[in-house]
Chain A
Amino acid sequence: MKAIVVGCGRVGSAVALQLQASGWDVTVLDENEDALGRLGESWTGGFVVGHGMDLTLLRAAGVEEADAVVVTTDGDNTNLVIAQAAQKHFEVPTVIVRVLDPARAQFYATKGLQIVCPTSSAIETLVSAVRHAEEDAVV
């Protein structure tokens, strides 16, 4: 199975490493060459330097044969645009996109994108942790 990870920050690099460890053929795309360092010296997957908006680079990374694309650059709007291209233009079966703004995440989820919103997850976790503390205090 082939996966492309766009954006090699903390999240992207960890996703790439874990997918590769479970046998995926992974190519990572990042505009900063130094991001390759996050993947460690033993990285044997692909690495393409450039902006994820560049359709030529997405093709070079193998988007046309990809089974999954994970989009995790540091820009919500960049992520949303790249993810839509992967889904609509390249018809990649699984496209997952990280969006930090809960409002945009919610709207684009209704448009058929598979979205992960770490901000919403953090809010839920924090609120439920406080509620548990409250319940414990009552008991």
Chain B
Amino acid sequence: MYVLIAGGGKVGANLIRSLLRAGHEVTLIEQKPYRFDKLEAEFEHQVIRGDATELFVLERAGITRPPDLVVAATGDDEDNIVICQLARERYGVSNVIARINDPRNQAYFDLLGISPTVSATGAIMGLIEHEVPEHGLVQLLELRKENLEIVEVTVDKGANCQGKRVRALMLPEGARLISVVRAGKAEIPDDETQLEVGDQVLAILEPGKEDELRKALL
């Protein structure tokens, strides 16, 4: 696989190292001279110096081939958005991954259809939620393109769904229970499955319907 990485900070540098070790072909673009010198000492001709939002720099890095994947991992969200837009819309790259530095900029990536995105803050928040669920509902996976998400709910004592069968639950439209883990064993629930205290329930639903699902279950 041929991968083009924009931004040789911690994220970009470790990515190229890992991808090369896995036998992939990689080109990394880094703008800052000092940082570039360090990277060049390690990765030689596989690093190119320049601004990855400049078309001629991208072309020098081989974007016209085009790469199988472009990773926009600079420390600047606007740059990452433009890199992904250029890669996809100007050069026909089919897979892009964007790093989000400031989670408040997520809205821009969504608005401009740039996905998947990776945000360290978002990932850590997800883990914190998993460890300390505040609202009873933990987001496990977001399928942005498909406009779906998978969430986990633990049935506590006194929950709305305790003792009820799945068909009796007032689930929001489009939501489905996809798995019930009881005593360490997972089963796929059907209409007759009865929920018990301690069950870990996985549900798939459209983002934005979390509150309705929470009301139905908890």
Taking Cβ atoms with an 8 Å cutoff, the residues of A that contact B are 53-55, 75-78, 80-81, 84-85, 88-89, 101, 103-104, 107, 111
The 10 closest A-B pairs by CB, nearest first: A77-B78, A103-B55, A77-B82, A78-B78, A81-B78, A77-B79, A81-B81, A89-B111, A107-B90, A77-B53
Can you list 25 residue pairs at the A/B interface with Cβ under 8 Å?
A53-B77, A53-B78, A53-B108, A76-B53, A76-B82, A77-B79, A77-B81, A77-B82, A78-B78, A80-B81, A80-B82, A81-B108, A84-B111, A85-B111, A88-B111, A88-B112, A89-B111, A101-B53, A104-B53, A104-B86, A107-B55, A107-B86, A107-B89, A107-B90, A111-B89
What string of 1s and 0s marks CB contacts (under 8 Å) between B51-64 and chain A?
00111100000000
* A54 in contact with B104 given A77-B82, A78-B78, A84-B112 (CB within 8 Å): yes
A9→B112 CA distance, assembly (Å): 27
Q: A53-B105, A55-B107, A107-B55 are in contact. List 16 more A-B contacts (CB 8 A).
A: A53-B108, A77-B78, A77-B81, A77-B82, A80-B78, A80-B81, A80-B82, A81-B82, A81-B112, A88-B112, A103-B54, A103-B55, A103-B56, A104-B53, A104-B86, A107-B86
B108's contact among A76, A85, A103, A104, by CB below 8 Å, is which? A85
List residues of chain B with CB within 8 A of the CB of A111.
89
Taking Cβ atoms with an 8 Å cutoff, the residues of B that contact A are 53-56, 76-79, 81-82, 86, 89-90, 104-105, 107-108, 111-112
A54→B108 CA distance, assembly (Å): 10
Which residue of chain A has its CB nearest to the CB of B105? A53
List residues of chain B with CB within 8 A of the CB of A78.
78
List residues of chain A with CB within 8 A of the CB of B78.
53, 75, 77-78, 80-81
A39→B89 CA distance, assembly (Å): 39
A101→B55 CA distance, assembly (Å): 10
B54–A101 touching, CB < 8 Å = yes
Nearest-neighbour CB distance to chain A for B19, whole angstroms, equals: 25
A104's contact among B55, B89, B105, B111, by CB below 8 Å, is which? B55
A69→B31 CA distance, assembly (Å): 31
Nearest-neighbour CB distance to chain A for B180, whole angstroms, equals: 39
List residues of chain A with CB within 8 A of the CB of B56.
103
List residues of chain A with CB within 8 A of the CB of B77.
53, 81
List residues of chain B with CB within 8 A of the CB of A77.
53, 76, 78-79, 81-82
List residues of chain B with CB within 8 A of the CB of A89.
111
Nearest-neighbour CB distance to chain A for B140, whole angstroms, equals: 27
List residues of chain A with CB within 8 A of the CB of B55.
103-104, 107
List residues of chain B with CB within 8 A of the CB of A85.
108, 111
Nearest-neighbour CB distance to chain A for B150, whole angstroms, equals: 27
Nearest-neighbour CB distance to chain B for A83, whole angstroms, equals: 11
Nearest-neighbour CB distance to chain A for B79, whole angstroms, equals: 5
List residues of chain A with CB within 8 A of the CB of B86.
104, 107
Nearest-neighbour CB distance to chain B for A51, whole angstroms, equals: 10
List residues of chain B with CB within 8 A of the CB of A103.
54-56
List residues of chain A with CB within 8 A of the CB of B108.
53, 81, 85
